[in-house]
Amino acid sequence: MPLIELTDTEITHLLDALHERTEDLRGVVVFANDASFLNDQIAELNELADDLREAMNRQDDGWGEDNAESQFIQAGIDARSNARVLRSTAPERRQQLLKNDD
């Protein structure tokens, strides 16, 4: 899918247009016999608007880069993994210690 670069002003115009279209569909839902299709369209438009807001507000914020938070989380994952290994090998280590005591 091609990537389009937009200015903040252009994104704001798109958000306004999405909002207006969503409001139009909400007005039609009141008169529709089966509103499920319209509600799906409204949900899709809202998701698109959320994606545009995120793109506009999350520029060069370092998200995804290796930082202290991700290192902290990785340390916790590694510690749990090591603890799991130690628990699984505990009976073998106990046997080895008993053999060495003899």
Residue range 16-44, pLDDT digits in tens: 999 999 999 999 988 888 888 999 999 99
The set of residues, in sequence order, having a beta carbon less than 8 Å from that of 41 and lying 6+ positions away, is 25
Return the minimum-mean-pLDDT range out of 58-62, 75-79, 90-94.
Answer: 58-62
- Looking at residue 70, its pLDDT comes to 78
Q: What is the mean pLDDT of residues 65-73?
A: 76
Q: How many residues does the chain have?
A: 102
Tell me the C-alpha distance between 82 and 88, whole Å. Answer: 10
Q: What angle do CA 35, 39, 44 make, to 5 degrees?
A: 150
